[in-house]
Structure 1
Amino acid sequence: MSLTMTLSLFDQFATPHLLGAPLVLLAIILPATLIFTSSNRLLSSRTSNLQLLLMKIITKQLMISMNYKGQKWTMTLISLLLFLALMNLLGLLPYTFTPTTQLSMNMGLAIPMWLATVLTGLRNQPTNSIGHLLPEGTPTPLIPILIIIETISLFIRPLALGVRLTANLTAGHLLIQLISTAVITIAPTFPATSLMTFLILLFLTVLELAVAVIQAYVFVLLISLYLQENV
């Protein structure tokens, strides 16, 4: 019984299929259609103005400490932020699938972006990039140990990016699934308790909406910090 219940809880993280075709492809393509673009009208709409204002605020927060070479990454980072945020939000809709709950996809985003920042540093300022492996003023006996520790921490960065995004989204989805199952189960016998649990579920859903956006922002923010060290 417990094994069946556990499998049913994790079924939401399996890729659904329709007529043999994986719906994850549709989930990946759909966010691009939800971004409002400029029209042929003389004046832009309120939605377009709001979108532009949000993009300006986010871009300023991400790129305020970057030099000119780092600011060339603006379009890449903003596009990645929009993609992750829309993917996370779409996963909260009923009968949908969240590709960002899959560690393989998150690592597929984290590793190339992290590697690009490292290669950028090695190309533009190789001395400073390698110098990050050894803090200034380190005692001579500790030099080999610190180099090993800093190298390990450098290669752990993409793993931390992918695992953080996966763990936060998976935990939120599982918690919503568990509480919603509890609401349906106890509704016939304890309606008052079921109502209180349902209110908790509504609060958790609103919190998960915020988490979906925040985790996308944190993912891109960490990449921008890695980039800042290498430009």
Structure 2
Amino acid sequence: MNQNLFASFNIPMMLGIPLATFIILFPTLLIIPSNKLMSNRFTSLQQWLIQLTLKQLMLSHSTKGRTWSLMLLALITFIALNNLLGLTPYAFTPTTQLSMNIGMAIPLWAATVIMGFRFKTKSSLAHFLPQGTPIPLIPMLVIIETISLLIQPMALAVRLTANITAGHLLMHLLGDTALTLLSLYFSSSIITIIVIILLITLELGVALIQAYVFTLLVSLYLHDNS
């Protein structure tokens, strides 16, 4: 049992070397390359999920925006696999690290904004000042819209970090409670274990939903600027 509640979020070390890079790259080994000559149910399910995800993400995009489809597909797959692997026992979840999520959010957000200012300059600048704004409110609205634009990557990163971290903390607390009650009140520990099983089922959904939400918001930023 960990004495520190947040010990499970520490980056694993071996011989003084952080293993975060190897852990982050590990989910890519779970992806089976598509081979038309040899196919099974798992690869068919994988291809069906890819087509369904791309259809949902690229539904409202223009031809220029659809060039990002491969990148968005890789992003949602990467986040979903990291979230799911983090639910296994004694595993480290990279998406609980705010630094990693900011490292994903800022380049993607910056790319969509730069793309918008390059190809849709007038439309991008128009977002800073809505039509029909009274003259005395113009400076204040420009400042507010600028701040709202700059905090978008932070909102992306914090949303993903907070949701994944909260679920892990809750499972950790309930697990410690079940172990304590097991030696005191057996019937109460059974109820706690049932709650943990239900919570794990919920966390499986949260892991996939948060990956989809993160990618969908990036896709919406792209749609606004492409």
User: 2:146 is matched with which residue?
Assistant: 151
Deviation sequence 1:83-128 (CA, Å, 0-9, x none): 0000111111111111110000000000000000000001111111
Give distance in 2, aligned partners of 1:26 and 1:227: 30
TM-score of the superposed pair, with normalisation by structure 2 = 0.96
Give distance in 2, aligned partners of 1:227 and 1:132: 14
Give distance in 1, aligned partners of 2:136 and 2:3: 52
* 1:61 maps to 2:48: no
Give distance in 1, aligned partners of 2:49 and 2:9: 31
Amino acid at match of 2:23: A
* 1:29 maps to 2:43: no
2:47 pairs with one of 52, 55, 71: 52
1:78-227 equivalence runs, <5 A: 78-227=73-222
1:16 pairs with one of 12, 19, 24: 12
The Cα of 1:7 is off from its aligned counterpart by 5.9
Structure 2 unaligned regions, length at least 5: none
The Cα of 1:49 is off from its aligned counterpart by 1.0
Give distance in 2, aligned partners of 1:196 and 1:13: 27
The DSSP-based 3-state class of the residue aligned with 2:124 is: helix
Structure 1 unaligned regions, length at least 5: none
The Cα of 1:6 is off from its aligned counterpart by 9.0
Give distance in 2, aligned partners of 1:77 and 1:136: 32
Give distance in 2, aligned partners of 1:23 and 1:199: 33
Amino acid at match of 1:200: V
Deviation sequence 1:45-85 (CA, Å, 0-9, x none): 11111111111111111111000110000000110110000
The Cα of 1:43 is off from its aligned counterpart by 4.5
User: 2:65 is matched with which residue?
Assistant: 70
The Cα of 1:19 is off from its aligned counterpart by 3.4
Amino acid at match of 1:226: Y
Give distance in 1, aligned partners of 2:216 and 2:2: 34
Amino acid at match of 2:144: I
Deviation sequence 1:120-153 (CA, Å, 0-9, x none): 0011111111111111222222211111111100
- For these two proteins, the number of residue pairs brought into alignment is 226
Give distance in 2, aligned partners of 1:222 and 1:29: 24
The Cα of 1:203 is off from its aligned counterpart by 0.4
The Cα of 1:29 is off from its aligned counterpart by 1.2
The DSSP-based 3-state class of the residue aligned with 1:96 is: coil
